[in-house]
């Protein structure tokens, strides 16, 4: 059962689709204070677990730290960071009382979960203008599924999006892309997508192509498709200010950009230099920007990734003028009394400043609203702009779409990648722990930059990360310009990368089936062990293993130089290991703790007792997968319900997509 409590005058976010009438009484859990902003306070029991918050730092259980929903372009995801690229304000408390809370508030909101006081949960924001949803159920899993139904069906990508993708900031010419294609194909490493970062654009302008390097672009897109490769270009939020640039001129003429309080268009700066920011919260602007995607879809493009949409602001006109004034003051100060660190602090705070977020406004149904009050909606509504446009461009076709910044509700229009991570072992573990939390908030199509985006990866780190990526719906290797090249063919043990990625393709029948079932039934693709084994005290506290779908448990290795790892089995399971030579080993292990050996070129998984999964023959592309090669592995006599469709259309509920497979006794 869900109850809705309305405080002040909430801004409509469209995060919740289910119509729920507002309650007049008091919230049945904790205490609410609205005298000075808004605060929810709840006394936690010593054994309470707090789930949720989607893309957030630390573990599956969010107790013991402070998290701030404030979409931030900050790639330094160290353990002390409180804000990431997304804002997912849902939590579920499990313990002496079990209930869920969704704080539908699109500005900065703080979740102090046993940080200030170890037994206190405090959720607070500056203004008491929000909708609070209280969800009751017997288990956190039940609460999560109720919440998922409230917020609507998760985005469903095309089937090719379950293939492996290669990306790098720095692919600048057709030959760069052909080199990547050749590197994978001649080494027979599976690949379905190559991503285009900002260098494909003309002067970093959205919906443009580098005129010198990407002439006759439709022919190049077709050339790649003939090699079973989809090109996936990036789209940034800021629109370059440049006379003669049609997107800029249309935006100005249509009054589609965010404005200052005086009605002039706000000017910030990102990769192209000075830019305006589309007002995605304005319906007409959202439609206008969404229709711009036609420029690329009409040339054969079938997928995109939206970036810089927190929005990222390197500086604004105002902040740059302030900095210049400070520099002048420092230069003219003969007494040298002005500390240098004042200047350093000013320069360090130029980017993504809340002072800048206060300087521009949105038009929401004719009302002027300061951006800071709706900051966390910007990336969501940019991707909504694209998702709604795809329904107009080709309503019967699925497009690949994922975004860096997001808010609950965006999960209906696209997936997410977790942004600019680093080539750190700690980020491999963070990636693993974040997956079920993202699913709880509706984001099923999710993944991280395998190998790490920033810093230099190592061969062993990339192998271990690819072995985790085998299971994530979005599986992409991505790296920053200036870092070590990390395409899989750049390393010594190319055949080992081939065998790891082949496992992904062998498992696609299972992974795709479980994704579709989760999306169509508002369920989870990744689940904490606690959701499946709630009465097992050992399983409830485990955070580095998780359930995938309804048949398997995964337990990746995430430690440097490790020969394997310890796993806990909540029940008897069959230990499956995909070896480098293509052999699949199977061994039944009893309930309890086990040390499993896993080489760098192997992929482990565990099939639950009495269950089985489908495995196909390896291929180099999703297009070439052959269902006739499927065999079942697991327990004899077990059955599996396979979901299979054309991977393009939207007749999801067609019963013909389901096929029952059974292992021989």
Q: Cα dist. 651→18, 158, 314, 642, 645 in Å?
A: 23, 13, 43, 16, 9
Please tell me the distance from the alpha carbon of residue 140 to that of residue 606, in angstroms, as a whole number: 24
List of the chain residues with pLDDT < 50 = none
Please tell me the distance from the alpha carbon of residue 557 to that of residue 386, in angstroms, as a whole number: 37
| Stated pTM of the model | 0.96
> How many C-beta neighbours within 10 Å does residue 303 have?
23
- DSSP secondary-structure letter at 408? T
| Residue that has been written with the tokens 């009465």 in this structure | 535
**Under 8 Å CB-to-CB from 384, ≥6 apart: which residues?**
280, 286, 409, 410, 413
Q: Which element (helix H / strand E) includes 429?
A: helix 425-440
Q: Is 578 helix (H, G, I), strand (E, B) or coil?
A: strand
CA 528 to chain centre: 18
Residue 444 · residue 519 · CB < 8 Å:
yes
Q: State residue 333's pLDDT score.
A: 64
Residue 194 · residue 231 · CB < 8 Å:
yes
Please tell me the distance from the alpha carbon of residue 8 to that of residue 25, in angstroms, as a whole number: 15
Please tell me the distance from the alpha carbon of residue 25 to that of residue 207, in angstroms, as a whole number: 51
* Torsions phi, psi for 484 (to 5 deg): -60, 140
For residue 162, how many C-alpha atoms fall within 13 Å in the half-sphere facing its CB? 28
For residue 550, how many C-alpha atoms fall within 13 Å in the half-sphere facing its CB? 15
C-alpha angle with apex 264: 263 to 268, nearest 5 degrees? 130
- Closest by CA to 516, choosing from 21, 254, 162, is 162
Please tell me the distance from the alpha carbon of residue 448 to that of residue 227, in angstroms, as a whole number: 25
Please tell me the distance from the alpha carbon of residue 471 to that of residue 504, in angstroms, as a whole number: 7
> How many C-beta neighbours within 10 Å does residue 610 have?
15
- Closest by CA to 451, choosing from 473, 480, 482, 471, is 480
- Three-class SS string for 226-294? HCCCEEEEEEECCEECCCCCHHHHHHHHCCCECECCCCCECCEEECCEEEECECCCCHHHHHHHHHCCH
- Closest by CA to 55, choosing from 443, 322, 349, is 443
Cis amide prior to 311 (ω within 30 degrees) = yes
Q: State residue 232's pLDDT score.
A: 98
């Amino acid at each position: 059962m869900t109850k809705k409590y309305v405080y002040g005058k909430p801004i409509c976010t469209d995060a919740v689709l289910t119509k729920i009438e507002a309650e007049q009484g008091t919230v049945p859990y904790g205490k609410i204070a609205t005298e000075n902003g808004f605060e929810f306070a709840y006394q936690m029991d010593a054994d309470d677990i707090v789930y949720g918050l989607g893309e957030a730092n630390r573990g599956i259980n969010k107790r013991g730290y402070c998290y701030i929903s404030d979409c931030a372009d900050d790639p330094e995801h160290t353990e002390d960071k409180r804000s990431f690229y997304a804002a997912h304000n849902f939590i579920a408390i499990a313990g002496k009382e079990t209930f869920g809370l969704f704080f539908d508030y699109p500005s900065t909101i703080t979740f102090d979960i046993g940080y200030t006081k170890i037994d206190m949960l405090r959720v607070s924001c500056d203004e008491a203008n929000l909708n609070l949803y209280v969800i009751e159920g017997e288990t956190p899993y039940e609460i999560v599924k109720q919440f998922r139904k409230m917020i609507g069906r998760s985005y469903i990508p095309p089937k090719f999006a379950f293939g492996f993708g290669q990306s790098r900031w720095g692919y600048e010419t057709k030959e760069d892309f052909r080199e990547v294609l050749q590197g994978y194909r001649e080494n027979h490493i599976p690949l379905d997508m190559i991503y285009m970062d900002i260098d494909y654009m003309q002067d970093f302008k959205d919906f443009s192509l580098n005129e010198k390097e990407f002439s006759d672009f439709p022919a190049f897109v077709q050339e790649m498709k003939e090699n079973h490769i989809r090109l996936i270009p990036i789209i940034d939020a800021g629109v370059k200010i440049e006379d003669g640039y049609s997107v800029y001129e249309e935006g100005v003429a249509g009054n589609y950009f965010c404005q200052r309080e005086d009605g002039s268009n706000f000017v910030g700066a990102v990769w192209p230099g000075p830019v305006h920011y589309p007002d995605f919260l304005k319906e007409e602007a959202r439609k206008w920007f969404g229709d711009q995607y036609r420029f690329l879809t009409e040339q054969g493009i079938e997928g995109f990734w939206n970036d810089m949409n927190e929005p990222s602001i390197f500086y604004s006109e105002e902040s740059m003028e302030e900095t210049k004034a400070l520099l002048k003051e420092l230069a003219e100060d003969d007494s040298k009394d002005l500390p240098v660190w004042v200047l350093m602090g000013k320069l360090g705070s130029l980017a993504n400043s809340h002072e800048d977020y206060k300087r521009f406004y949105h038009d929401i149904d004719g009302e002027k609203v300061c951006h800071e009050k709706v900051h966390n909606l910007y990336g969501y509504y940019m991707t909504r702009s694209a998702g709604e446009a795809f329904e107009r461009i080709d309503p019967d076709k699925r497009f690949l779409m994922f975004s860096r910044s997001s808010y609950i509700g965006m999960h209906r229009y696209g997936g997410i990648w977790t942004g600019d991570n680093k080539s750190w072992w700690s980020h491999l573990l963070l990636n693993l722990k974040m997956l079920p939390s993202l699913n709880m908030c509706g984001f099923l199509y999710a993944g991280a930059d395998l190998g790490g985006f920033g810093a230099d990866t190592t061969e062993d780190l990339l192998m271990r990360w690819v072995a985790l990526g085998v299971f994530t719906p979005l599986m992409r290797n991505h790296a920053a310009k200036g870092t070590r090249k990390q395409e899989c063919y750049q390393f010594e043990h190319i055949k080992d990368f081939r065998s790891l990625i082949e496992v992904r393709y062998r498992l696609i029948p299972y992974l795709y089936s479980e994704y579709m079932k989760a999306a169509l039934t508002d369920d989870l693709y990744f689940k904490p062990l606690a959701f499946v084994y709630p009465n097992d005290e050992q399983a409830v506290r485990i955070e580095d293993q998780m359930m995938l779908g309804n048949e398997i448990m995964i337990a990746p290795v995430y430690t440097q130089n490790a020969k394997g790892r310890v796993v806990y089995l909540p029940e008897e399971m069959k230990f499956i290991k995909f070896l480098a030579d293509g052999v699949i080993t199977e061994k039944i292990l009893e309930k309890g703790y086990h040390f499993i050996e896993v080489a760098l070129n192997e992929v482990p998984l565990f099939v639950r007792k009495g269950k089985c999964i489908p495995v196909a023959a390896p291929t180099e592309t999703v297009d070439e997968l052959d269902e006739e090669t499927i065999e079942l592995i697991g327990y004899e006599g077990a059955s599996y319900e396979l979901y299979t469709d054309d991977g393009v259309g939207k007749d999801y509920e067609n019963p013909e997509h389901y096929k029952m497979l059974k292992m021989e006794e």
